[in-house]
Amino acid sequence: MSKIDCVAMLLAGGQGSRLGVLTKSLAKPAVQFGGKYRIIDFTLSNCHNSEMDIVGVLTQYRPLELHSYIGIGSHWDMDRRGGGVFVLPPFARDQGGEWYKGTADAIYQNINFLELYQPQQVLILSGDHIYKMDYSLMLEYHRDKQAAVTIGVIEVPWEETHRFGIMSTNGEGRIVEFQEKPSKAKNNQASMGIYIFDYAVLKDYLRRDAEDTATSHDFGKDIIPRMVAEQQKAYAYPFNGYWRDVGTVESYWEANMDLLAERPELDLYDTSWRIYSENLNLPPHYIANGSSVKCSIVSEGSQLYGNVDHTVVFPDVYVAPGAQVKDSVLLPHVRIREGVVLDHVIVGPNTVIEAGSIISEQETNICEDAALKKYSGITLIGADKTIAPALSGAKK
Amino acid sequence: MSKIDCVAMLLAGGQGSRLGVLTKSLAKPAVQFGGKYRIIDFTLSNCHNSEMDIVGVLTQYRPLELHSYIGIGSHWDMDRRGGGVFVLPPFARDQGGEWYKGTADAIYQNINFLELYQPQQVLILSGDHIYKMDYSLMLEYHRDKQAAVTIGVIEVPWEETHRFGIMSTNGEGRIVEFQEKPSKAKNNQASMGIYIFDYAVLKDYLRRDAEDTATSHDFGKDIIPRMVAEQQKAYAYPFNGYWRDVGTVESYWEANMDLLAERPELDLYDTSWRIYSENLNLPPHYIANGSSVKCSIVSEGSQLYGNVDHTVVFPDVYVAPGAQVKDSVLLPHVRIREGVVLDHVIVGPNTVIEAGSIISEQETNICEDAALKKYSGITLIGADKTIAPALSGAKK
Amino acid sequence: MKRMMGIINLYNSKDLLWELTRGRPLAAVPFAGRYRLIDFTLSNMINSGITNVGILMQGNFRSLMDHLRSGKEWDLARKREGLYFLPPVTGINVENGFPNDLSAFQSNLDYLQNSRQSHVVISGCSMICNLDYNYGLAFHQEKGADITVAYKEMGDLDSYPYSSMLGLDEDGRVRDIEINPVRARYRNLFLEMYIIEKKLLMELVDSAVSRGGTNFLRDAVMKNLDKLKIYGIHYQRYVAHLMSIRSYYRHSMELLRPEVWRNLFFANGLIYTKIKDEAPTKYNDSARVSNSLIANGCIVEGTVENSIIFRGVKIHKDAVVKNSIIMQKSEIGSGATLENMICDKDVRISAGKCLIAEPHYPMVISKGSLL
Amino acid sequence: MKRMMGIINLYNSKDLLWELTRGRPLAAVPFAGRYRLIDFTLSNMINSGITNVGILMQGNFRSLMDHLRSGKEWDLARKREGLYFLPPVTGINVENGFPNDLSAFQSNLDYLQNSRQSHVVISGCSMICNLDYNYGLAFHQEKGADITVAYKEMGDLDSYPYSSMLGLDEDGRVRDIEINPVRARYRNLFLEMYIIEKKLLMELVDSAVSRGGTNFLRDAVMKNLDKLKIYGIHYQRYVAHLMSIRSYYRHSMELLRPEVWRNLFFANGLIYTKIKDEAPTKYNDSARVSNSLIANGCIVEGTVENSIIFRGVKIHKDAVVKNSIIMQKSEIGSGATLENMICDKDVRISAGKCLIAEPHYPMVISKGSLL
């Protein structure tokens, strides 16, 4: 096997429990997003567009749908000879198997995969974010700086700095201090969880980290602070585009809504940086007489007879005459019956909302049950449910 | 997803520790066999040729090479829409992950995969055997008999019955008694580890077995005996062709040698039942002037200048002038230098045997080290080694 | 199990789609927002379990090959069988001077011979429907037919000039065939689909060519009406017969009826086509859309009524598109008005332009035009 | 990174491989035990990082399309770019009456236009070698050339009748070209490979066609020798030039020299071809084989000397095959003797038959013959 410049390792094992029922039966990277995509499509499309030809995807939590979705990467045109996408679940060795204990441990357990390629650099990614980024530019930056590690950073609002790993850099972009989720941040440059390591350095730190029983085996908490402390050449690579962690129901809803702006920050229609995804072979969607569809994105196979405003409509969704859907996300195969009113609702795949149901921030006439959960004003309804109005139109 | 007749589940998690260094870095089903193939090729080609369109492959031990080898089943032309090959490693759930505890447990942990397809029947296979079998005929038999479970059986010599699950049947083929590895067998009909279950029955027994803490969660040890005891309609399906477990170094060597017979029982040249495998894109092999090659099979890219007799030669093997190779198996990329004598030797991938080395049953002139191990007359040499004669030609 | 193979015959005797088939074969004409005509024939075959399909290519078929490529989207990129392109005969084999389907069949007899299946489904590309050939095969075998041909009984004869029609007896046996009459005498529109045993097909082709034949239907089938048991099977559901710009337009507009949409896209399986990886379609605040079919990848800021919009179309603010068909990647400038128009691929209509054709007599704007 | 696209030009002015190109284009002629000629050109392109390849098809190309299918084996089954079949021009576009490469180029100018790459590598299929076009591109840019052409200096002029030769000045600039002379005046064999900027190619093609040109080399290149800076790059390693049965045979036999074998199959990357899923080759007790290349899937029970045996060949007991080339799936009966023969695909030689041709004047037994 020939020597490869850079291998990407995509951490896709997260359970994403803060996404509620959306991750009940699938891993977070496999959650649908943006009217057609799954969250991991963005990172994998970035890899393809950045000509990162070899990508290991580390999975752990409920990977069935994720594995069969990823396959050998055909959706992203990455089923290439001698390259492509490799799914790397935890596995058993002579002495039995071990689950991944942390992000660093996950990479360490798959060091034999990296050894196959002997790359110059290793790009560490997570499958949890919505963004478009050219990793090859970051790789160039890393090489220009002759860095040991380069961390992708983005400016975040000062009041959110406590949620991130925060970098302080000198004039050349070299990291002089690293604070993991600080209560009092010295800076607002946050780590995006994107790292480029020189492979030799990475191996060394992973080995030492593995021997250390006191660590949590995490890049942000353990490896990076140690490298900064040991004066390794760690650089920050500033990224200015759209970047969202969709780790909570609220942020998932917001990132979907972001796509509906008149000029969205994230342009899905730019053919020079396509976001690839599965294609379902459904006919064009149908918008009926008497309906009104605006400020929305709508996918193939859907049939809209009612009013759809500021809403993300996935494939094969049906909205009956007289229904009103606003500020919502309708996942694939959802059925919205006559006269339904939805406002700020995320409806899971295959769910049916029966005629007359009203679900909004102000008012609802359905029984609140396990299928339905509220997150600061947004109602999340799980997959494969049937929701009907309560017999005595309950008011809240 | 449409209702599927039969889904195959292939148990490929075995470590295969009795294969010595052959399974040092890969799972047993991924071990090379027969000059070109890997062990799992036989079962997967059987699936393709039997039109079993959906195959779940359950992996556990060192699956990297196996996973990337299987991919989405393109080698076996099984990368079909809505079907194909799905790799199923152990995975984490909400309450953490569990490793497969036994064959039945492995299937039970993947019941959600079977639930996707709701098959009529489930075919359970293992990836450890060399044989050609039309599973669709067995499925037909199962349906004709309206069986709850059908077990593939083969006659074994009476003296080997203690190694197998042994079936006693009535005139119609119905199993009336099942002995797991009996010291005193009542019959010589041995289970091949191939089962067809009605899915409803399988689910029921797996569920009950999972709740039972006293079992080893194994089909042969627990599920089948329990079904026979509970008078379920269990039938034996007799198979008459070539069938070998290649679980030990000796049986691996023998099964390779079987291919060299004038008329081998296992016909690799029958185009109506092809065994599919990876293809390496190497040129035709070259047999030089002055060499002698007979009773052997030779694969692409090899260059033979010496004498090769009754030997299996994998791709890209080099045998230098004056070398003598007999009754041996040369795995891919092996280099045999001038004057080497090999007799009853299995040489692992990429290994170099330096000039003048002599390794045979009777005599050897090389230091015996960890790289080399003897199994009743057969010498096994691991991968990526360099073997040279000892300075003082040691005699045994 | 797999008893049928498919042949798609791209030779069509009459092509009245003029403007749309200038730079492409009929089979590659875009239809229904995201498909090409051949997608329907091909999808019917694969949805009927056929995994071996040969295409008798004709004319300038580059756009068709670009579309089909490996056959992967139709699950026909296989190690064994799959999709075979059977290019036109050149040189020595064309005894009768011009390319024709009979000699195309003849020069591919070896392909037929080498295929494992016993029966052949032959179909053209201008009859658009969603059907299962297994019903045809069952009928074929029940009747003990030599050839089974599919037809649809039509209400209105006048709508189908230049179509082939079948004359049937009470038993459903074909007793007469009219090929492309100006005014038909029978009501049974021939759907250009045959089921026939492979051996008989090979025999009929060879025999007809050796007697100077050039047209499969006329010389291999019609001339044997008395000798062979040819039965018609009635297909009851929706069929669009695309043989003129008017019928193309009329059938496109029929897709806006939800029962036609459902029937054509879902009746017996999905219709597969080339994947384009387009984003979902985006409607802005000013979008006003009604009774329209809209494919992925569009950006709609204007008004769209009773129209079919293909993938990647942009309709700018204050543009009005009515009763029109706008093909892939076209762009309608702000304030432009289109009525009763068919815009081929990559057409750009400048801001403020107004193009209005007569109802039922649509105008075609050719591929790549900039108006 | 990806600056080059590839065009494989299947129009060849002189084809002297008669017996082997009767039922197939030159590009599909089997060579070296498991390949077709086009595999070498295609593999060189992909091994040089080219991912967009158009093939100017000519003649009866069904066998070629069967061979290439989706392009998957060459890693060219891609969503973007990959393998494009550019079929021959029919009808209106052939102004000059017969199919020719210049009009083929011209009718595919839109394909060139739509491609992202700035440079085009053009190659034929009759020059077999293993090279990296990136060296050519570096040379091209260093020289500031308009066109770079590859050549090899030959020792023996007499061996290359009907080849095109280049006359070069000291600087390596091409000053004269001879197309297929009976007796060459220059020693520099033109390898039928060009590197040229895409824009210039499009300009040259259009300009030559509009002046009545039909031959790319003659009318687009040679006529511009004075105006354009055309440089020759010398390819030093092994080249097999297959332009007659004798040269086909001679170059096949050269493959038995290990340094040629290594050079052609490994120098700059592997040569890819269609996968056949054959088992390894089996030698029985009575097999006697020396100095031979043998592909997978064969069963050898007889004697094979100085020969090239393709995939799936059976050589029965006591058969003797010497100095011969036996193509795919042929079968040599027990006791038969073949010397100095070329058996095309699927030939069956009955038991005991004896066929011996003169050394260096091999006889060809055509595809599918039963002797």
Interchain contact, C61 vs D91, CB within 8 Å: no
Signed CA dihedral, D8, D13, D17, D18: sign only = positive
* Cα→Cα distances D42→B104, D45, D122, D132, Å: 49, 5, 11, 12
Give the tens place of pLDDT for each residue, B48-86: 999 898 999 998 877 778 888 887 788 888 777 777 888
Give mean pLDDT, residues A300-315.
97
Give the tens place of pLDDT for each residue, A254-289: 999 999 999 999 999 998 899 999 888 899 999 999
Structure token pair of residue D144: 């500031």
The confidence score (pLDDT) of residue C14 equals 63
Contacts of D144 (CB under 8 A, 6+ apart): D229
Q: 3-state DSSP call for residue C321? A: strand
Structure token pair of residue D25: 């284009």
How far is it, in rounded angstroms, from Cα C10 to Cα B287? Answer: 50
The confidence score (pLDDT) of residue B1 equals 32
What residues in D contact A77, CB-CB < 8 Å?
A: 78-80
Interchain contact, B77 vs C80, CB within 8 Å: yes
Give the tens place of pLDDT for each residue, C301-352: 999 999 999 999 999 999 999 999 999 999 999 999 999 999 999 999 999 9
Of all residues in chain B, the percent with pLDDT exceeding 70 is: 94
Q: How many other CB atoms sit within 10 Å of the CB of residue A81?
A: 14
User: Looking at chain D, which residues constitute the CATH 3.90.550.10 domain(s)?
Assistant: 4-266
Give the tens place of pLDDT for each residue, B156-206: 999 989 988 999 999 899 999 988 888 888 889 999 999 999 999 999 999
What residues in B contact D74, CB-CB < 8 Å?
A: none
Closest CA to B10 of B62, B51, B54, B49: B54
Q: Interface of chain B against chain C, CB under 8 Å?
A: 51, 77, 80-81, 276
Range scoring the smallest mean pLDDT among A364-373, B25-34, B46-55, C275-284: A364-373
Q: H-type helices in chain C, by residue range? A: 37-47, 62-68, 101-106, 109-114, 133-143, 198-210, 245-254, 258-266
ipTM above 0.85, yes or no: no
B115-129, B217-231, C229-243, C296-310 — which one is most confidently predicted on average?
C296-310
How far is it, in rounded angstroms, from Cα C194 to Cα C190? Answer: 10
How far is it, in rounded angstroms, from Cα A37 to Cα B118? Answer: 27
Give mean pLDDT, residues A305-324.
97
Give the tens place of pLDDT for each residue, B368-377: 665 667 778 8
The confidence score (pLDDT) of residue A181 equals 87
How far is it, in rounded angstroms, from Cα D335 to Cα B68? Answer: 47
Residue A96 has pLDDT above 70, yes or no: no
Residue D322 pLDDT class (50, 70, 90 cuts): very high
The confidence score (pLDDT) of residue D99 equals 76
Task: Please tell me which residue of chain C has the smallest CA distance to D22.
Answer: C92
Residue B395 has pLDDT above 50, yes or no: no
User: Looking at chain C, which residues constitute the CATH 2.160.10.10 domain(s)?
Assistant: 282-365
Give me chain A's average pLDDT, please.
89
Residue A92 pLDDT class (50, 70, 90 cuts): low
Structure token pair of residue A381: 């309804």
Signed CA dihedral, A309, A312, A315, A320: sign only = negative
How far is it, in rounded angstroms, from Cα D42 to Cα D50? Answer: 9
Q: Identify which has the larger pLDDT, D188 or A3.
A: D188
Out of D1, D75, D80, closest to residue A80 by CB: D75
Interchain contact, C261 vs A283, CB within 8 Å: yes
Contact A156, A41 (CB under 8 A): no
pTM for the whole thing?
0.86
Closest CA to B302 of B327, B336, B274, B345: B336
Closest CA to A134 of A253, A237, A281: A237
The confidence score (pLDDT) of residue B47 equals 95
CA A10 to chain centre: 11
Interchain contact, B286 vs D292, CB within 8 Å: yes
Give the tens place of pLDDT for each residue, A16-35: 778 888 888 788 999 999 99
Instruction: Using CB atoms, list chains with 3+ pairs below 8 Å to chain B.
Output: A, C, D
The confidence score (pLDDT) of residue D76 equals 80
Range scoring the smallest mean pLDDT among B97-101, B174-178, B330-334, D64-68: B97-101
Range scoring the smallest mean pLDDT among A6-20, C255-269, C341-355: A6-20
Residue A299 has pLDDT above 80, yes or no: yes
Interchain contact, B284 vs D32, CB within 8 Å: yes
Structure token pair of residue D28: 């599909």
Q: Interface of chain A against chain B, CB under 8 Å?
A: 13, 15, 17, 25, 59-64, 67-68, 71-72, 74, 86-94, 96-97, 99, 110, 112-113
How far is it, in rounded angstroms, from Cα A367 to Cα A345? Answer: 15
The confidence score (pLDDT) of residue D278 equals 93
What residues in C contact A303, CB-CB < 8 Å?
A: 258
Instruction: Using CB atoms, list chains with 3+ pairs below 8 Å to chain C.
Output: A, B, D
Give the tens place of pLDDT for each residue, D111-154: 999 899 999 999 999 899 999 999 999 999 999 999 999 999 98
Residue D38 pLDDT class (50, 70, 90 cuts): very high
Give the tens place of pLDDT for each residue, B79-99: 777 778 888 887 766 666 667
Out of B35, B290, B296, closest to residue D290 by CB: B290
CA C94 to chain centre: 26
Give the tens place of pLDDT for each residue, C57-107: 887 778 888 888 878 888 887 777 888 988 876 554 445 557 788 988 998
How far is it, in rounded angstroms, from Cα C50 to Cα C110? Answer: 19
Give the tens place of pLDDT for each residue, B258-282: 999 999 999 999 988 999 998 888 9
> Does D1 contact A at CB distance below 8 Å?
yes
User: H helices then E strands: how many in chain A?
Assistant: 8, 32
**Identity of the residue numbered A216:** S
Residue D311 has pLDDT above 80, yes or no: yes
Residue A392 has pLDDT above 60, yes or no: no
Residue D59 pLDDT class (50, 70, 90 cuts): confident
Q: Provide the shortest C-alpha distance from residue D21 to chain C (in Å).
A: 14
Give the tens place of pLDDT for each residue, D173-187: 999 999 888 888 899
User: CB pairs below 8 Å between A and C: how many?
Assistant: 107
> Does D79 contact A at CB distance below 8 Å?
yes
What's the CATH superfamily of C282-365? Hexapeptide repeat proteins (2.160.10.10)
Q: Identify which has the larger pLDDT, B62 or D314.
A: D314
The confidence score (pLDDT) of residue B393 equals 46
CATH topology of domain D4-266: Spore Coat Polysaccharide Biosynthesis Protein SpsA; Chain A (3.90.550)
Closest CA to A113 of A198, A40, A236, A199: A199
The confidence score (pLDDT) of residue A97 equals 65
CA within 13 Å, CB half, D64: 28
Instruction: Using CB atoms, list chains with 3+ pairs below 8 Å to chain A.
Output: B, C, D
The confidence score (pLDDT) of residue B94 equals 61
How far is it, in rounded angstroms, from Cα A232 to Cα A220? Answer: 15
How far is it, in rounded angstroms, from Cα D327 to Cα D339? Answer: 14
Q: 3-state DSSP call for residue C36? A: strand
Mutate to test the interface with B, among A22, A64, A333 (most CBs of B within 10 A): A64
Out of D264, D283, D299, closest to residue B294 by CB: D283
Interchain contact, A279 vs C286, CB within 8 Å: no
The confidence score (pLDDT) of residue D181 equals 85
- State phi, psi for D62 to the nearest 5 degrees: -60, -45
Task: Please tell me which residue of chain A has the smallest CA distance to B20.
Answer: A94
Closest CA to D299 of C237, B268, B176, A139: B268
Range scoring the smallest mean pLDDT among B74-88, C114-128, D233-247: B74-88
Residue C141 has pLDDT above 50, yes or no: yes
Residue A2 has pLDDT above 60, yes or no: no
What residues in C contact B80, CB-CB < 8 Å?
A: 75
Interchain contact, D80 vs A77, CB within 8 Å: yes
Residue A294 has pLDDT above 70, yes or no: yes
Residue A284 burial by CB count (10 A; 0-12/13-18/19+): exposed, middle or buried? buried
Out of D265, D285, D299, closest to residue B283 by CB: D265
Give me chain D's average pLDDT, please.
90
The confidence score (pLDDT) of residue C92 equals 42
